[in-house]
Amino acid sequence: MKKNMGTTNKVIRLLLAIAVAVLYFSNIISGTVAIVLGILAIVFLLTAFIGFCPLYLPFGINTIKKKKNTT
């Protein structure tokens, strides 16, 4: 499994997952919305930590910055 997520992408996913957690624990969201957003937050956390998003594969998306040759 080749990594296809850059640092910025990972940070955004982590921040979104944290935002969902804050909304849930402060009782702003509940019920079905909380369940759906909670599952999405878990997926965001997992993909951020492993650095791979399976949804990017069929579209050929890769958000890792390419290194420039300095020679």
Predicted TM-score of the model (pTM): 0.83
Contact, 14 vs 42, CB < 8 A? Answer: no
Other C-beta atoms within 10 Å of 14: how many?
Answer: 15
Buried b (16+ CB within 10 A) or exposed e, 34-69: beebbeebeebbebbeebebeeeeeeeebbeeeeee
Grouping H, G, I as helix, E, B as strand and the rest as coil, residue 5 is coil
Q: Terminal CA-to-CA distance of the chain, rounded, Å?
A: 30
Best CA proximity match to 17, nearest among 52, 47, 61 = 47
Per-residue pLDDT of the chain (71 residues; tens, 9 = 90+): 889 999 999 999 999 999 999 999 999 999 999 999 999 999 999 999 999 999 999 999 999 988 777 76
